[in-house]
Structure 1
Amino acid sequence: MSKTFLITGGAGFIGSAVVRELIRSTQHTVINLDALTYAGNLESLADVADSERYHFVQADICDGEKMKVVFAEFQPDIVMHLAAESHVDRSIDGPADFIETNIVGTYQLLEAARHYWKDLKASDAEKAAGFRFHHISTDEVYGDLEGPEDLFTETTAYAPSSPYSASKASSDHLVRAWQRTYGLPTLVTNCSNNYGPFHFPEKLIPLMILNALAGKSLPVYGDGKQVRDWLYVEDHARALIKVATEGEIAETYNIGGHNEKQNIEVVKTLCALLEELVPEKPAGIAHYEDLISYVTDRPGHDVRYAIDAAKIERELGWVPQETFETGLRKTVEWYLANESWWQRVQDGSYRGERLGTGS
C-alpha cells in the first residue's frame, strides 16, 4: 500500500539518495523538507523532481510551528529524519549550529510528530497504528573502538568525541525518550561512513578526487591510519527504507558496509583508480600519490570505527550490494561524468554564492 514519507534533509547527501530510491523503486509519495543550508542541493534530485509523487518544502526543522503545519498539511505515514549538521571539522570550528539543528531541531520535530500522532489516534486509529518516526544517526556516537577486533553493536555505550557526535548522541537520546515517555513509535539507525554520488566536496572521498584532478594537495590527517567502515550511499538508502517500513518499533539497527579501511588506504586506492581512468594528469604531476601530504591531526580524532551489522541482516534481511571496490569505482566514475554538478557546488552557483571547496 502506498504511503506518504516525510524526509527531513532530503536535499542532502544521504537524504537525496533516499528520495531518489523511494521515487524510482516504490509507489510511495515523498515530501522532501529541507532548509537548503550549504549542503542542501536540489540539483541532486533533478532526475526525480518532476514526479507527481515528489513534493519539496523549504523549511527549518527548528521552526516548531512550521513543522506542525507541514504535518497537518501532508499527513505523513512515515517520518525519516535525516536533517543534520554533519561535518566534524565544522563542528569543531563552530559548534553552535550543531547544537541548534541536531538537538533543538530534533526536539521540535519530535514534538510536532507527537502532537500529530496523538491527534491521529483520535481521528484515524488505523493510520496512527502504522505511523513511524525513523531517526537516522551515526556510528560516531559510540566514540573509539579499542581492540582491532571490536565492533560497534546496538548496545555499545555512547562516548562521543566531537561536538558533532555529541549533538547526534543527544538527538538519539531524545528520540528514545519520546518513545519511552510518550509512546511515540520510533526507530533509530546508526550508520558508518557513507560515500557515493552527489557527496558534498568537503568530505574525504570527493575532496580527494577533485583535488587530484586539479593537481592540488591531498591532505591526510596525522598518519592516515584512522580506520573507518565505508558504506555505499545507495546501499544505505535501501537499508533505511527497509528499517522504516519493516523495522521493529523502539529498536535500533546498526548499518555498515563491511568495509574497514585506513584513511590512507582509501586515498591511495582513489589515486590508483584515477591513474587508470584519468591517466593524463595536471602539468608537473608524475603520479597522483605524489600529491598526498600529511597534516596536523584533527583534535579528538577517533582512531577506529567498525559496525556490526548482523542484526539488520538477521532480522530484516539487508546486506550491502556493493563492495568497497565496486562502490568506489562507481563513485569515481560518477564524479568524472558529472563535472557540471560538482563545479556548481565548488563555485557556489548552485545556491547563488561563491563557496570554497573545503580543502
Structure 2
Amino acid sequence: MDRTFWQKRRVLLTGHTGFKGSWLSLWLQSIGVELLGYALPPPTNPSLFEVARVAEGMTSVIGDVTDYEHLRKVIADFQPEIIIHMAAQTVVHTSYIDPVTNYNTNVMGTVYLLEAIRHLGGVKAVVNVTSDKCYENREWVWGYRENDPLGGYDPYSSSKACAEIVTAAYRDSFFNINNYSEHGVAIATARAGNVIGAGDWTANGLIADLIRSFLEHKSIQIRNPYATRPWQYVLDALNGYLTLAERLYNKGPAFAEAWNFGPNESDMKPVDWIVEKMLSLWGEGVTWEKDQTCQFHESNSLSLSCSKAHLKLAWTPKMSLEAALSQIINWTKGYQTGADMRAMTIDAISQYMDLG
C-alpha cells in the first residue's frame, strides 16, 4: 500500500461503523483521504467506532445500503473516485436467526451499490469485500483458489457467494474489461475471513466473546474448539484491500477480478489454541468450556490460497498471529484503564505501516 497515492483521494466506504470499517476509516484518515462513510449505526455497544471517535475525521452518513435512492444520492453528491464496499451482515449465527435481512443486506445491498455506480459514473475503482466463506467448503486440507467453486451451507456463506456472482455479472455485463476505455470502472472482489483485531465486540465472534469474558470476569463457552480457521490480523486484510484498490485505479482491467487475502500457513490454528493463548496473555485466571447447546452448522476447516495476491499484488501478511493477539490484549487493557482509544488505535496503524 502506497500511502502517498491516497492523499486527497475521494473515497466512499460503506460499513464504516463496523469493526473492520472503523479500523479502515482511521487508517484512511491518517493518510489524508477525503473520506465519506455510509452505514447503519454501530452494530455493537460498545463499538470501536464510538470508543475511538472515528467520526471525528470524516463525513459519516447513517444509511442503509438497501435504501437505493438514499445511497444513490449520497454517491451522486460526494462523487467518489474509489468505493470500498464493506457494509454487510457478517455473522453466521445471525444469518440463521434472520436469513431474510442477511440476504437483503449482503446480496441486494451489493446490487444497489453497483446499480448506482452504473448510472452515476465517475467512480474508477470498486473493491467489494465478501468473505472466504463464499467457497463451496469441502473440508479440504489445502487452500481454496479464486477459481474454485462458490457455494455455502449456511445463509451467511451462501449470501457471500451470491454477492460474488452478482459482482461478476455486473462486471461482465456493464463494466466489461474489454470496454474499459468507454466506462472506466474497474471492479474486484476481496475474499478474507476470520479477521481479528482490537475493538471487536461482534456478537458470537470468538475474539469478542473472549474479550467480554475477560472484562466481566466470566467463564467463556466455546462452540467449536477444534475447528481450524485462517486467523488474520485486521490491518493485514485491510492492507490487501487498499493495495487492490490502488491497482484497480492505476491499472484497471488487469486487476478486475477476485482476490484472496489470508494469513501465512503457520497461523492456521484451531480455536482452542487461540483461546489458550489469549487466556495466557490476559493473565487473570478466566476459564473456558465447550458449549454443549450449539445447534447450527459450522465448517471445521477452511483456508485460502493467496498465491495470486503474493505474486501479482506483492501483498503478504506482516503481522504474526501471536503478535496480533498480543496487540489485542494490550489495546483492551488500555480500554479497560480509560486510555485515549482513538490515539491508541491510530498509533497501532502507524506502527503497522512502519513494518515495511
Q: TM-score, normalised by structure 1?
A: 0.82
State the Cα distance separating 1:62 from its structure 2 match. 0.8
| Corresponding position of 1:348 | none
Is 1:50 paired with 2:47? no
Is 1:208 paired with 2:249? no
Is 1:134 paired with 2:127? yes
Is 1:319 paired with 2:316? yes
| Corresponding position of 2:25 | 19
Matching residue's letter, 1:32: G
**How has the CA–CA distance of structure 1 residues 21 and 195 changed in structure 2, closer, same or farther, with 3 Å as cutoff?**
same
Is 1:158 paired with 2:150? yes
Any idea what the Cα deviations from partners look like across 1:172-211, whole Å, max 9, x if unmatched?
1111110000115211000021111121242111211321
- Cα distance in structure 1, aligned partners of 2:85 and 2:337: 29
State the Cα distance separating 1:295 from its structure 2 match. 2.3
| Corresponding position of 2:11 | 5
- Cα distance in structure 2, aligned partners of 1:49 and 1:213: 25
State the Cα distance separating 1:213 from its structure 2 match. 4.0
Any idea what the Cα deviations from partners look like across 1:260-302, whole Å, max 9, x if unmatched?
1111111111111122xxx4xxxxxxx434x323324442211
State the Cα distance separating 1:50 from its structure 2 match. 3.5
SS in 1 for 2:160: helix
| Corresponding position of 1:92 | 96
SS in 1 for 2:113: helix
Alignment of 1:92-241 (within 5 A): 92-117=96-121, 120=122, 131-148=124-141, 150-183=142-175, 184-202=185-203, 203-222=205-224, 224-241=225-242
| Corresponding position of 1:29 | 34
Is 1:304 paired with 2:301? yes
- Cα distance in structure 2, aligned partners of 1:201 and 1:72: 32
- 8 Å contact kept, 1:9–1:84: yes
- 8 Å contact kept, 1:145–1:303: no
Any idea what the Cα deviations from partners look like across 1:205-224, whole Å, max 9, x if unmatched?
121132144232311124x1
Structure 1: state its 5+ residue gaps. Answer: 121-127, 280-286, 342-359
- Cα distance in structure 1, aligned partners of 2:280 and 2:90: 28
Any idea what the Cα deviations from partners look like across 1:92-146, whole Å, max 9, x if unmatched?
11111101111111111111111112xx4xxxxxxx6xx0111001101114243
- Cα distance in structure 1, aligned partners of 2:170 and 2:91: 26
Any idea what the Cα deviations from partners look like across 1:26-61, whole Å, max 9, x if unmatched?
232111111215247631551x5433xx21111111
**How has the CA–CA distance of structure 1 residues 58 and 41 changed in structure 2, closer, same or farther, with 3 Å as cutoff?**
farther
The number of equivalent residue pairs is 314
Matching residue's letter, 1:147: W
State the Cα distance separating 1:71 from its structure 2 match. 1.4
| Residue in structure 1 matching 2:274, options 256, 266, 276 | 266
Of the two, which has the highest radius of gyration? 1
State the Cα distance separating 1:70 from its structure 2 match. 0.9
- 8 Å contact kept, 1:84–1:101: yes
- Cα distance in structure 2, aligned partners of 1:337 and 1:134: 33
Report % sequence identity. 25
| CA-based RMSD | 2.1
Matching residue's letter, 1:140: K
| Corresponding position of 2:251 | none
Matching residue's letter, 1:28: V
Matching residue's letter, 1:245: E
SS in 1 for 2:89: coil
**How has the CA–CA distance of structure 1 residues 192 and 38 changed in structure 2, closer, same or farther, with 3 Å as cutoff?**
closer
- 8 Å contact kept, 2:131–2:192: yes
- Cα distance in structure 2, aligned partners of 1:38 and 1:214: 20
- 8 Å contact kept, 2:18–2:43: no
Matching residue's letter, 2:212: L
State the Cα distance separating 1:340 from its structure 2 match. 7.8
SS in 1 for 2:128: strand
Is 1:62 paired with 2:66? yes
| Residue in structure 1 matching 2:261, options 255, 265, 270 | 255
- 8 Å contact kept, 1:217–1:293: no
SS in 2 for 1:7: strand
Is 1:295 paired with 2:297? no
Structure 2: state its 5+ residue gaps. Answer: 176-184, 249-253, 339-356
Q: TM-score, normalised by structure 2?
A: 0.83
Matching residue's letter, 1:187: A
| Corresponding position of 1:352 | none
| Corresponding position of 2:344 | none
Is 1:245 paired with 2:238? no
